[in-house]
Amino acid sequence: MDMDKRPPADGGDGCLVGVIRIPVKIVAVLVVLPVRVVWELLAAFGRAAHRHVLGPLYVHVLEPLLRALGWLLATLLKLVFVWPWVGLWRYVLAPVGQGLAWLCRGVYDHLLAPAGRILVTYVLRPLWAALAWLGRGGMRYLLAPLAKGVTWIVWALGMTLFVWPWAALWRWVLAPVGRGIAWLAVAVYRYVLTPVGHGLVRLTAAAFRYLLRPVGLGLAWLAVAVYRYVLAPAGRVLLWAWRVAGRIVGALWRGFQWVGWVLVGWPASRVYRYVLTPVGHAVREVWRTGRAAVREARAAVRQALFGTPPVEPARSRARTLGSTTAADAAPADEISLPRRQG
């Protein structure tokens, strides 16, 4: 809350703060101080144990032991899983493989390669030449005449089975029937459909002129009359009713707002200003007093343990709003901004 809207403090608030401060200090000395002393002792004991016992034990005992165990485990793993396979590869599999490769190269160079060259030169090449000569002679004197005869037979069968029957059917059957159907269609269009179409056009024009046009004009006049004498007045009445209803709703809403402010808003603002605000100030003072008591207790414990003179922290001297005196001094009256200007 703003400082200018805070109500002025009186002597009753100072007495209330003094009464609350004494029990808070007693609780801090009896509860917080022993707990903090025990915690500081435990922390000091832990730091000393880590510095003089656990640290040297890890550095001079555990770390060399772990390193020796790691070296021993690595040596055992190499002895079981690495060195036997390395020796097997280096002294058994590699020499055997090299010997097999040398033997295969010798067999290929001195046996398979000469035999292959002899086979290609004196067997396969003459055989391929003979087969090529036979193929050229058979293609020229046997396969070409046979292919020509088979082609002529297939052409004759195709013409006899698939071309000549369909040509005769089209020439002597389908073409005359098609010409007859076309002549009949032309006659029907000229002597039947054209007169019927002309009659339908005349009938449609007469129906539009003497039936549909008068009916349409009558319906249009009726629609204009309904709009002018029924819908337009009804729309204006509805618009006027809508505006009146809007004004009534606005008036009701403003009335509800006024009632809500009178019943809820104004009482809530009064309760906040004259009840909650002083209670909040009192709680804040109690909290500041408790913090100051805890700081004083810590300073006393530090003096008892280490022998240093108690120094009051800079933040322990809580100051009240609108005053330059400490929290222990008598609080000064707070002056709001309107009173100062007045």
Average pLDDT, the chain: 79
Higher pLDDT, 132 or 254: 254
Determine what percent of the chain is predicted with pLDDT higher than 90. Answer: 5
pLDDT at 324 over 80: no
Each residue of 257-307: pLDDT tens digit?
A: 899 999 988 999 889 999 999 999 989 888 988 788 888 888 887 787 776
Burial classification of residue 28, based on how many CB atoms lie within 10 Å of its CB (0-12 exposed, 13-18 middle, 19 or more buried): buried
Each residue of 115-153: pLDDT tens digit?
A: 888 888 888 888 888 888 877 777 777 777 888 888 888
> Which string of DSSP letters, residue by residue, matches 111-168?
IIHHHHHHHIIIIIHHHHHHHHHHHHHHIIIIIHHHHHHHHHHHHHHHIIIIIHHHHH
Each residue of 170-207: pLDDT tens digit?
A: 888 888 888 889 888 988 888 888 899 888 888 888 88
Q: Give the residue ranges of DSSP H helices in the chain.
A: 11-27, 33-49, 55-57, 63-77, 83-88, 94-107, 113-119, 125-138, 144-158, 164-169, 175-188, 194-207, 213-226, 232-260, 266-271, 277-306, 337-341
- Could you tell me the sign of the dihedral formed by the alpha carbons of 154, 156, 158, 160, in that order? negative
